[in-house]
Structure 1
Amino acid sequence: MTTSDDILALGKETSLTTSVLADWIQHGTPKQREYLHGLLTAEVTSRQASRRHRLLRAAKLPTMKTFDGYDWTAVHFPPDYGRDQLTSLEFIEHAQDLVLYGDVGTGKTHLGIALAAAACHQGIPARYFTTASLVMHLRQAKDHHRLDKELAALARNRLLVLDELGYVPIDAEGSRLLFQVIADGYEQRSLVITTNLEFSRWGSIFGDDTMAAAIIDRIVHHGRLLQFRGDSYRVKNALMK
């Protein structure tokens, strides 16, 4: 008599092949096929949920944010681009970039995190960094002779969210490392950058106008600019007045 343990043991060893599955479908009764369909549906659902969980954990999001309840009033889209196109994540399919630029506290970080979370829920590998933490991460990898390994790990993500560009100056080595990440991803994966500095001031971030120009050139080629204008959400809702 077949026991539950026997079935579970086989389940751990099994990776179904099309030919075997087709044979069992052909010889099964309608009731058996219905049962098999339910089993496989449950398995696929479970695997998708596990993948989403793994991707969200790997994304290193500082907090969970979604599009639900997001206040879009501060966001100004380009004429040829809108909210539905953004939230559908079609820009990732085309390896396009986004720059979320504007006033402090207007929802740039929230939207960047929500885009990364949405990507993970769709089974798309994504990773979040503040600019300062990414530069530190790369510098430590270089110091420990594992920079190539870390760059390869970053390259496995189809979306990289780079938050708070311009909040902390970057030295020459950090600029080179950041440029390498952006250059490696050019036309291969998507980049979302949040910043409160216009392009003309990016030279002050990198300490090198030529380096900044090279980075901007790659981002704008397949990128769109979303502008954020308004009062800070944190100030409007602050306890300290």
Structure 2
Amino acid sequence: MSSDYQKLLNNLDALNLKHMREYIPNYIEAANREELSLTTSLLELTNQELAFQKNQTVERVIQRARFPKRSSLEDFDFDFQPSLNKKEILDLKHMGFMEKKENLVFIGNPGVGKTHLVIAVGIEACHQGYRTLFISCHELLLRLRSAFEKGTVDRVLRRYARYDLLIIDEIGYLPIQKVEANLFFQLMTMRYEKKPTLITTNIILSRWGELFQNTEIAAAILDRLVHHVKVFKMTGKSYRMKEKT
């Protein structure tokens, strides 16, 4: 019997059913004690393995998205940010904006929770199988400019354009040069009406001409960004100041 038991464990290892391999020793005792049928036992074991593999897949997707931290919509302090419609924010977890190819823009001063919310939405998107990337505006523009100088910008633009959901954090904190503005415009054009983009910014949209140092390119970017968009204006206080106090 012990030989057959060891062979079973070896087979589970060979089949890469690692969770079932760890789970089965205790489960056999419970199954014998409760006199479970073979069908019930196999169903329970395979359900456990499927759930484990799904969680592992989601975890890999979340890691590849490169979030700087983990957050959720449920742990956001809406009482501290009364400018937001709580129901409207919580509805984002249903991913209706993904189906409609609708962009989301969060506008507000530093510390009001913009990044928390886009990370939370991004993690929910990962759970629902959407290929997601989180990147700061500064890093994105550095990568695009580097690719432009190396002559590989078309390939890099296509890579960013393919993400189901692209989250660009902190637009407006650093000046944007003309070349960078043109590259950003190209990326927005490639994603326009194909893939939604989430953006956080501390600059109201009417001042993006100053941000991009070119009113025409800013207008062209905004034309594509706001054609299908939900804008969330956050006028509350800084969480960082709250924690410090």
* Structure 1, 132-141 or 117-126: larger mean CA deviation: 117-126
Counterpart mapping for 1:220-235 below 5 A:
220-235=226-241
Identify the residue that residue 195 of structure 2 maps to in structure 1.
189
Which residue, 173, 182, 200 being the options, matches 1:176? 182
Question: Do the aligned residues in 2 keep the contact of 1:165 with 1:196 (CA within 8 Å)?
Answer: yes
Question: Do the aligned residues in 1 keep the contact of 2:78 with 2:84 (CA within 8 Å)?
Answer: no
Counterpart mapping for 1:119-138 below 5 A:
119-138=125-144
Q: Does 1:71 align with 2:77?
A: yes
Counterpart mapping for 1:2-151 below 5 A:
3-4=7-8, 5-9=10-14, 11=15, 31-73=37-79, 74=81, 76=83, 82-151=88-157
* Structure with greater helix share of residues: 2
Matched position secondary structure for 2:226: helix
Q: Normalised by the size of structure 2, how large is the TM-score?
A: 0.80
Quote how far apart the aligned CAs of 1:39 are: 3.8
Q: Distance in 2 between matches of 1:7 and 1:53?
A: 22
Identity %: 32
Q: 1:75 to 1:191 in 2, by over 3 A?
A: farther
Counterpart mapping for 1:155-174 below 5 A:
155-174=161-180
User: What whole-Å deviation, never above 9, does each CA across 1:46-73 have from its counterpart, x for those lacking one?
Assistant: 2211211111111111111222321124
Question: Do the aligned residues in 2 keep the contact of 1:75 with 1:226 (CA within 8 Å)?
Answer: no
Q: Normalised by the size of structure 1, how large is the TM-score?
A: 0.81
Q: Distance in 1 between matches of 2:121 and 2:216?
A: 30
How many residue pairs get matched? 220
